[in-house]
Amino acid sequence: MASGDERHGEEEGNYGDATMGALREIYAGYAWADVASLEPEAAAARVRVRGAAQAVRAVGRRVAFLVLRQGSATVQCVVSGAGGGMARFAAGLSRESVVDVAGVVSLPREPVRGTTQQLVEIQVEKLHCVSRAVANLPISVEDAARSEEDVARAKAAGEQRAHVGQDKRLDNRVIDLRTAANQAIFRVECQVENVFRQVLLSEGFVGIHTPKLLGGSSEGGASVFKLDYIGQPACLAQSPQLHKQMAVCGGFERVFLVGPVFRAESSYTNRHLCEFVGLDAEMALRDHYSEVCDVVDRLFVAMFDHLNKNCTKELEAIQRQFPFKPLKYLKTTLRLDYNEGIRMLQEAGVDVDPMGDLNTEAEKKLGELVRDKYDTELYMLCRYPSAVRPFYTMPCPDDPRYSCSFDVFVRGEEIISGAQRVHDPELLTAQAEARGIDVSTIATYIDAFRYGAPPHGGFGVGLERVVMLFCGLGNIRKTSLFPRDPSRLAP
């Protein structure tokens, strides 16, 4: 606690450093409040709030203005007193220190600039520091919150504005996450996951969890993280694909899951991670794989409608630091045949292989062509060539060179891959062997289809990629709380 002649009359014991447990009696009579809830209707209320000391400005020896931040909400706290001890204590707080403030909510003469709660302030009666931040932070929240445009404007005007690069941000992610934009990004991400669950539950899906430790690759290839599993070779799951199919065969006709996915790919692109959150679904089919497309259509239109309607404050906060144009999408998602997409690219002068996969440049170009022709940045591309899809993808019955599959694109980038799966064990075995997969490592998977299996299909989408593309953020590391890529394993 404060000591010596710093303590004056009514300020005795009302400020200083204190542990959380010691404050209960000191703050008796003050009701806990959230900064975001402090509005003019709360005037005269005696409240207690806890947050970070974002900024402190001393006015003489007896008054200080403390901006307290809780999440992304901020409020001005007026610190004063006859002796001035509390004001001097406030002025000595290091930025980002965690403090408790108790006082009376009041209405300022003019709106407070620079805070989210502009129509109220707190007249401080008690102030204690619960946790002091170091005096010299590796980055400041103010600098981390600055947009590229702000830095460019300042430079053009001959002013100095610190620019915090991406690696510096990620090295100090705990501080970087405190910016208003990051607070908003991960709240939007939470909503995407919630809507994914809610819509699929409303459509009769059951939530499940599948193993992340496998005895062999789920999709073939070498892009797996290998490990020793109590003396046996194993790897981290590239996908929940095999087990969600087995769940459908086990009698759960519609299943979904949210969980980590691991890809040991040396991809340093803006859209790849070595670990991401997968949103996956699988369902029994009645007549055609387009039934999966129907679910995807309803799901993502509902998701994007929800974000636009219920996350306006969060989207505005993201916009301030990372400007983006609202996503264009139709109420019924456009579906294009793969051959139609190839034709559009060829007519635009793009050299593409009609039976090959689209590279990143071709996907972006097709996204531009679709946007210009159909006024949408969300669309499905259906009936891919079989050669470019995983071994478990069902060939089209009318032409096995093509598959019962689709991808979904947002702003010219793929976010969803889906298809009908092969449920015939002999065909599945043949297609796995043709891709060089050791069938013995997936024997239990193939055997699951020997006991009776309904036709089925599904899809997978990366949570981080959905938010990145919806918000036009340009780099998936912005939507991963603690990214894991080929060069980053910390923090």
The residues carrying an active-site annotation are 263, 265, 271-272, 414, 417, 465
Helix or strand (DSSP H, E) at 227: strand 226-229
Tokens for 197?
Answer: 């669950």
3-state secondary structure of 70: strand
Task: Check: CB of residue 471 under 8 Å from CB of residue 318.
Answer: yes
Which residue, among 101, 97, 90, has the nearest Cα to 31 in the 3D structure? 101
Beta partners for residue 430, in sequence order: none
Q: Which residue has the tokens 């496998």?
A: 214
Which residue, among 237, 177, 282, 248, has the nearest Cα to 454 in the 3D structure? 248
Tokens for 484?
Answer: 């894991």
Tokens for 269?
Answer: 């692109």
Tokens for 477?
Answer: 């590391």
Q: Is omega for the bond preceding 211 within 30 degrees of 0, making it cis? A: no
Task: Check: CB of residue 478 under 8 Å from CB of residue 271.
Answer: no
Determine the Cα–Cα distance for residues 55 and 75; give it in Å rounded to an integer: 11
Determine the Cα–Cα distance for residues 123 and 126; give it in Å rounded to an integer: 9
3-state secondary structure of 30: coil
Instruction: Give the count of beta carbons closer than 10 Å to the beta carbon of residue 129.
Output: 20
- 88-108 burial, b if ≥16 CB within 10 A, otherwise e? bbbbebebbbbbbbbbbbeee
Task: Check: CB of residue 105 under 8 Å from CB of residue 43.
Answer: yes
